[in-house]
Amino acid sequence: MAVVTLFMSDRDISRTFTSKKEADEYDKMLELAEAVSHFMEQKVAGLSEQQVEEIGLVFARNKDLLAQAIKGKADVLFATADETAEAED
Residue type, 87: A
64: part of which helix (H) or strand (E)? Answer: helix 63-70
pLDDT at 40: 96
Residues 31-58, mean pLDDT to the nearest whole number: 96
Confidence of residue 88 (pLDDT cuts 50, 70, 90): very low
Nearest residue to 76 via CA among 65, 63, 64, 61? 65
Q: Which domains does the chain have, with CATH numbers?
A: 24-88 (1.10.10.710)
